[in-house]
Amino acid sequence: MPRDVDPRLLRGFVAAAEELHFTRAAARLYIAQQALSRDVRRLEHTLGTPLFVRTTRQVELTADGERLLPLARRVLGAHEELAAAFGTAAGPRPLLVDLNTDGPSTGRAVLERARELAPHCELMARFESGLTHAAAEIAAGRLDVAFGYADGLEPALRARLARRPVRYEPLAVLLPDGHPLAGRDAVPLDALAGETVYAGAGNPRTLEWTGLARELFAGRDIRLAPPAPVAVGKEEFRRVMAKTRNPVLVTVDFVDLPGCEKRPLTGPVPLSPLSMVWRKGFTHPGLDALRAAAGELAAERGWLDPPAGSWTPARLTPGPGGG
């Protein structure tokens, strides 16, 4: 029975076991496919048993591979916990927190409060633009925490994450200057009938957001705008919006842009259930601070008290998250 197994080999095994595709698993780990195959063969030799059945069409786990997978996840989780506790002599390693965009947001408010609660921790902001992409980065170990509509993620990805509900975020519409609805203080959903509204269609990073919009627009004669070039940065976003002239579905905290007017949506008020997500089994004092900050802000600002008669997506999973 082996006494020592290199965590790198287990990490490669877990990626291959979850993807069941060596090319995708290697890309996820940022290594060559040949290196991943070599590591898996080394692990099989160390354990004295085959872990995968490979054919020209598919990859499957053997019975021993199935048996190893939960054990390997626990070992890697313990290594993450150890690294978080003793990453450097000065304290735990930096925690990477995705805020989606560089501007005002619920995630930004939680991060700033967490920095006050844990000044000894380095909480580093990242801007991955979309929970679908950020969640995959978390599962791969390249990111630690993100915020977004977790119920809109694919079930297999969602199952690998722990989460905490943070806020029911009211939605708004961003209108180009001169749009007939821009003169209103708020825009009833019925007033968008016949409009074509952009909600990230075609952007693989924001599938959860597009799915929420599709559900909100259904039966209201609001068309989902076709894919547009993915704009990176405020100036490019404003330029593409001015060119297409399509309203854009956003949250009420979305950054104000020149040449655009942001108006809250009403009748009913549509809400996006925002959660904080992280890898199951992951521990870090910065994560503890983020969870505490989210709880404090939600209680202070009523973030988890949706107004009566508001709209939420049908896929919303009730009850608190965590883990």
Q: What are the boundaries of each domain within the chain?
A: 7-86, 95-166+274-301, 169-266
Its sign, for the CA torsion 102, 105, 107, 111, is positive
For residue 305, the model assigns a pLDDT of 94
Q: Is 319 or 283 the better-scoring residue by pLDDT?
A: 283
What HEC string does the chain produce?
CCCCCCHHHHHHHHHHHHHCCHHHHHHHHCCCHHHHHHHHHHHHHHHCCCCEEECCCCEEECHHHHHHHHHHHHHHHHHHHHHHHHCECCECCCEEEECCCCCCCHHHHHHHHHHHHCCCCCEEEECCCCHHHHHHHHHCCCCCEEEECHHHCCHHHHCCEEEEEEEEEEEEEEEECCCHHHHCCCEEHHHHCCCEEECCCCCHHHHHHHHHHHHHHCCCCCEECCCCCCCCCHHHHHHHHHHHCCCEEEECCCCCCCCEEEEEEECCCEEEEEEEEEECCCCCHHHHHHHHHHHHHHHHHCCCCCCCCCECCCCCCCCCCEC
For residue 242, the model assigns a pLDDT of 65
Domain 7-86 = CATH 3.40.50.2300: no
The average pLDDT across 52-66 equals 89
Please indicate, yes or no, whether the overall pTM of this predicted structure exceeds 0.85.
Answer: no
> Which of 50-54, 127-131, 243-247, 259-263 has the weakest average pLDDT?
243-247
CA atoms of 120 and 258, how far apart (whole Å)? 38
Q: How confident is the model at residue 322 (pLDDT cuts 50, 70, 90)?
A: very low
pLDDT at 1 over 60: no
CATH number of 169-266: 3.40.190.10
For residue 192, the model assigns a pLDDT of 96
pLDDT at 222 over 60: yes
For residue 140, the model assigns a pLDDT of 85
The average pLDDT across 282-299 equals 94
Q: Is there a shared CATH topology between the 95-166+274-301 domain and the 169-266 domain?
A: yes
pLDDT at 236 over 70: no
> Which of 25-29, 72-76, 113-117, 204-208 has the weakest average pLDDT?
25-29
For residue 78, the model assigns a pLDDT of 79
pLDDT at 230 over 80: no
pLDDT at 210 over 50: yes
Q: What is the per-residue pLDDT across 150-173, written as a single tens digit (0 to 9) for each?
A: 999 999 899 889 999 999 999 999
Superfamily of domain 95-166+274-301 in the CATH hierarchy = Periplasmic binding protein-like II (3.40.190.10)
